[in-house]
Structure formats: C-alpha cells, structure tokens
Structure 1
Amino acid sequence: MPLTTLTDSFKTLLLRGLLAGLIAGLLAGAVACTLGEPHVQAAINIEESAAAAEAPAADHHAGEVTTDPGAAEESAGHSHGDEEPLVRRTGQRAGLFLAIALAGLALGAIFAVVAHYARRFTALNGPLLAIAVAGCGWLAIEAVPFFKYPANPPAVGDPDTINERTLLWLASVILGLAAVAVYVGRALRNQQLVTLRVIGQVAAFLVVAAIGYIALPGINEVGEDFPATLLWEFRVSSLATQAMLGLALGLAFAFLTERAHRRVTR
C-alpha cells in the first residue's frame, strides 16, 4: 500500500497539522529563547545605556530654557531609562515562547490545508509531500522576505517608519509566494529530461525573486555605532528559529503521516 495522503480525510490532516505545528512551535520557541533572547537583552542594554547618556544632556538643556525646577524634573522623568516597562523581561520571554507556539499551531493548520489540495496534483507520497510543502512554505514565507528585509533587534529602526516597513515586509512575503508558485508550476510540467526541469524550476524562482528584490526599496536604519557582531548574531538566531519552525513542521507532519499509514497497513 503506498504511503499517500489521498485516503486521509481533511479533518485527519487538520488534526495532524495542528499537532505537528504545536511540536514545531515548541521547538522553535526553545531555540528563540535559547539563542535569540541573549542578543535581544544585549540590544536592550545598549538602548537603555544610550537613553541614560542622553538624559543628563536633556536635563541641562531644560535648565537653560526654563528656571522652573518642576519642569526640569518632568523632563527627566520622561527619559527612557526611568520608565518602568509595561511587561517585565520575564513576562516578555514567556510571551515570546507562547507566541511562537501559537504561531506554530496556525502554520500547522495552514500546512494541512495546503497539503490537502497539493496531494491532488502530485504523485509524491505522504512524507515526501509533507517535506516538499514545508520546504516551499519556508522559502516563500521566511527565506525570501528575510534576505530582503532581515530581522533587526531592539534599538534598531525608526519608530516613524514602522508602518512602511511592515507593508514592505508583507510585499516581500507576496513576492516569495509568487516565486514559489512559479517554481511549483514549472515542476508540474512534464519534461523528458529531469535536469532541464530542475534547471528551469530554479531559474524561474531566482528570476522572479531577483525582479522583486530590485523593485522593492531597500531599508537600512542600523546606526553606525551599533555593534555589527551583535546585529549579525541576532539575525542568525532569528533565521535559526524560522528554520527550526519550518523543518520541525515538515518532519513532524511526515512522521505522523507515515506512522498513521503503517498502523492502517498492519
């Protein structure tokens, strides 16, 4: 009996996707808390140190323009270093882990829907189909946007441009989906030579991604005084978290699919 998901109902695939997504979310959350959080804390320390250094200058300037001591105290009270965060760092770490776990659940549901329709257009068996869908999804949603607009730690980025940067990131996600769609479309074409088919797939993907990269504007709001090593390590940890989420989702779904069909065969 072939290991194919054609015999699985949509409900079965959805439950399997939710379970695989939860597993992937928990693993990715562990990676984010282990690798990413130290770099986030280091960036926050840099931001707070810069705010603390600016506070005396602001107080001195306030003393020059007014003689009211209450106004000077109010100006100093608004410095970033004196403000209490709405959520403490411990709560932020727990929230990060929970958010990634929930994101894994959502991606697992989307993964199941895509697998449900993708199985009608390919002869790949269940585990291979799961890995292929996970790889294409990671390329479209994570890899293509990341290499155009990589993640930045705290203290990097202008708050006034956050809406523009969010829209550009969404545009890069659409670009990734378009590039992967072209890649998959080329893969479904019947060609006698496998080598030519693979070359055509890769070339089509790269052409679409390159055109999108050229069309989308670049963003570079990293200050010259920000440590390059910290920026690099933060981005690598962010990419590792995303890679773990996609890899674990595909492998967990493939494992659950193979295990279910072996049980049915027995």
Structure 2
Amino acid sequence: MIQRLLLAGMLSGLVVALFAFAYARVYAEPTIERAIALEQGGYRDHAGVEEGPVSRSTQRNTGLVTGLAAYCTALGGFLAIGLAFLHGRLSVRPRSAVWTLALAGYVSLVLVPQLKYPASPPGVGNAETIGSRTELYFIMILASAICMAVSFWISYRTARRMRPAGSIAIGIAAFVTLALALMASMPAISESPHDFPRDLLLEFRAHAALLQLIVWGGLGLLFGQAAEYVAQRDRGMERVASHGMPNA
C-alpha cells in the first residue's frame, strides 16, 4: 500500500504544482519585478535585463515551475509516508488523516515561521545578514515542527482518558502555547527600508502566503481524495483475496 500511496502523493504534488505555478506567474512574479526595479534604482521594465548566471526570464519560468514541482512532489511524498504511518493507528478515514497532516504541516512549517519572520521581496534586508536571517528562519521551522510533534503526543496520550474532542482541544492549546513561547523567545528581525513601499511589501507577503495555501490546501484536497481511492481499492482486493476468486 505504501508504494501506491507514495505514487498518489507525488502525482498529486505535480498537479498542485501546476496550479501553484499559474498563480505565482500571474500574481506573485509582478511584485518581485517591481521590487527588483526599486532595488536597481526605480520603476522600469527589466524584462531584458539579465544579471548573474541565471536570468530573470529563466527564474520566473523554467526555474519557478521546476522549483514548485520539486517542492510539491516532495510534500506529497511526505504526506504519503505520514499517512502510511498513521494507517491503522487512528480510527479516521484516509481523507481526514491527509487533511489533518496537511493542516498540521501548513501551520507548523509555514504559518508560525512566517508570522515571526515574514517573507520579504528583493531589496528588503541587509545583504550582510542574509546568512543569519536564513539560519534563524530554519531554526524557527524546526522548532515549530517539534512543538507540533509534542502537541500531537500530548493529544494522543490524553485521548486514552477523555473524549476525542477534549484531547484535540488540549493538543491545540498545547501547540498554541508552545508556538507563542517560541515566537517570543526567537530574536526579532526588522530590516525593511523606510523608503520601501509598504503596499508592495504587504502585497508580496500576501501572495507568498496564498501560494503556500494553494500548495498545502491543494495537496490536502487532491491527495486526500486519491488516498481514499487507494484505501478503498486495497480493501476491495483484501476482501476478494479472503473469499477466494469467484468461479467463472
């Protein structure tokens, strides 16, 4: 079953990557172009400007679709592995398990880190501190994932002594508490230039957040349905095997 789930998860990721690319290409990329224009000295068309080993044309087309495909395929594979681990351990349908995993992944790996360290377009932030800022962001992701794992463990342990709704509420409360403590303990970063347009900064961050919602939400919906089909097909095959092949 794990092989079929893995294949379904990765194929779902590829499909979601196409939708994510369409959104990013139409809505997110123009804000990046405007930010680059500001960084280089004013609003102007940079369609013909190519700097560095990879041109902007390649970055916003081939590079963008390749990166999203790799990202979404990997996420689909991780969701499939997580579902295979939970299969038989939780009394929920595969679709619900996928939705739960996708929601937990989005909240812990995307939402909480971006609330503390929001995405920034080109031209925002000191180039000399990019290494430390990247390190802090990945530490935030790892710590947030640990908080989510601890919250799941607490919810699982309390489920033995109370109703599911109560254990879920306790798990959510535990994660919120741990996440707030984590965000308060991590150092703040504020390097936005005073002359950088605030509307452009907010627009870029809104598109970055919506792009992640498309990826995680799309995977939850698409792979959730695919996982349900795989599980039903396996149950049907098990029933046929247990009763023997019908006579012709």
Does TM, scored on the shorter chain, surpass 0.5?
Answer: yes
Aligned equivalent of 1:219, options 189, 193, 196: 189
Aligned equivalent of 2:79, options 90, 95, 111: 111
What is the CA-CA distance between 1:260 and the residue it aligns to?
A: 3.6
Give the TM-score of the pair, scaled to structure 2: 0.85
What is the CA-CA distance between 1:17 and the residue it aligns to?
A: 1.1
Alignment partner, residue 4 of structure 1: none
Alignment partner, residue 92 of structure 1: 59
Q: Distance in 2 between matches of 1:106 and 1:28?
A: 15
Alignment partner, residue 37 of structure 1: 29
Q: Which moved more, 1:191-200 or 1:34-43?
A: 191-200
Aligned equivalent of 1:133, options 74, 81, 101: 101
Residues 113/193 of structure 1: CA separation in 2 closer, same or farther (3 Å cut): closer
Q: Does 2:207 align with 1:243?
A: no
Give the TM-score of the pair, scaled to structure 1: 0.79
Computed over aligned residues only, the root mean square deviation of the Cα atoms, in angstroms, reads 2.1
Q: Distance in 1 between matches of 2:17 and 2:84?
A: 21
Alignment partner, residue 121 of structure 1: 89
Asked which structure has the greater CA Rg, the reply is: 1
Gaps of 5+ in 2: 238-248
Gaps of 5+ in 1: 1-8, 53-82
CA contact (8 A) 2:34 2:43 kept: no
Map Cα deviations across residues 72-120 of structure 1 (whole Å, 9 max, x no partner).
xxxxxxxxxxx84133322111111221111111111111111111224
Q: Distance in 1 between matches of 2:81 and 2:168?
A: 26
Q: Distance in 2 between matches of 1:182 and 1:216?
A: 19
Alignment partner, residue 145 of structure 1: 113
CA contact (8 A) 1:21 1:249 kept: yes
Q: Percent identity?
A: 30
Amino acid of the structure 2 residue aligned with 1:21 = G
CA contact (8 A) 1:141 1:176 kept: yes
Aligned length: 228
Residues 146/224 of structure 1: CA separation in 2 closer, same or farther (3 Å cut): same
Residues 43/122 of structure 1: CA separation in 2 closer, same or farther (3 Å cut): same
Alignment partner, residue 6 of structure 2: 14
Alignment partner, residue 202 of structure 2: 232
CA contact (8 A) 1:18 1:105 kept: yes
Alignment partner, residue 74 of structure 1: none
Q: Distance in 1 between matches of 2:94 and 2:199?
A: 42
Amino acid of the structure 2 residue aligned with 1:34 = V
CA contact (8 A) 1:29 1:98 kept: no
